[in-house]
Amino acid sequence: MTGEPARPFRRMLLLAVVVVLAVGGAATRPFSWQATVLVAVPVIVVSELAFRSRPEQIPPTVRLRRGVVVWSTLLVVASVWEVYAFVRQPDWTRASELHPTLSTLLDPALEQLPLRLAGWLVWLGAGWWLVSR
């Protein structure tokens, strides 16, 4: 038996998991432990799957090196900003206007449930796209 008939089922299962995660995430209160769990679990699972896979070796080129430098720099700068802003908050359970994190800056745009759901779907889709490359 080949793996071909299982592909549509696996895609539908993956889509169902993504929708359940997005609906659950959209229904949680920001900065709650439930929201944290709904972020941490997919990150841990997908990271484990990504680290297990053995991608083909890509020959290093100047363009690839430049891309790695640019994206790594952006990732480090965004991470440093996020950690600094989070640590400087007077209360870690409430957003601070003086030291906004990315989540705090996005909160006004994601207050309504449909937009929160769309935000979760975009986040999960972007994460899957990055891991599957």
Written as one string, the DSSP assignment of 17-40 is HHHHHHHHHHHSPTTSHHHHHHHH
The continuous run of DSSP H or E covering 50 comes out as: helix 33-52
- Which residue ranges of the chain lie beneath pLDDT 50? 1
pLDDT for 99 equals: 76
pLDDT for 1 equals: 47
Q: What is the DSSP letter of 59?
A: P
pTM assigned to the model? 0.65
The continuous run of DSSP H or E covering 119 comes out as: helix 113-132
Give the number of other CB atoms < 10 A from CB of residue 30: 16
pLDDT for 80 equals: 92
pLDDT for 53 equals: 76
pLDDT for 69 equals: 94
